[in-house]
Amino acid sequence: MADIYTKIEGDPGFVNDKIEVLGDLELLLTQIEVILFTRRTDVLGEPYIGANLDDLVFSTNMSASTIESMVNTQIEQYSRMLANRYNVDCSCKFYKDGSRDLAVLDIVINGQTYMGMVFA
């Protein structure tokens, strides 16, 4: 299976002259990135794809477990073929940092953290 390389300069692990992604794990990570950074209703013909992370973390008072469940459900629905080959899990934690709140979202695949995001 192959897909177009979608990372841009400045992304972690960016490779300048790469044009396609071939490995299953790389494809899964790309699909998860699309899910995480897509807002619902932004994809024509697929109104429910997207984790809506900004809305979940900042606009509502959702618990970490609810956010984990929503992201895991998105991954199961929209990356089903690859997610079934790996043990994919999402971990969300909230922290207080002085006057602001922080949210940390990790994507764990087969027990190893592959993606981590901090929302402040």
Q: Can you tell me which residue has the tokens 């469940």? A: 69
pLDDT of residue 2 exceeding 80, the answer is: no
- The contacts of residue 51 (CB under 8 Å, 6+ apart) are 35, 36, 38, 70, 71, 74
What per-residue confidence (pLDDT) applies to 119? 83
What per-residue confidence (pLDDT) applies to 107? 95
Tokens standing for 13?
């692990």
Residue range 39-97, pLDDT digits in tens: 888 988 988 898 888 777 776 678 889 899 999 999 999 888 888 899 999 999 988 87
Please tell me the class of the 3-119 domain.
alpha beta
Per-domain residue ranges of the chain: 3-119
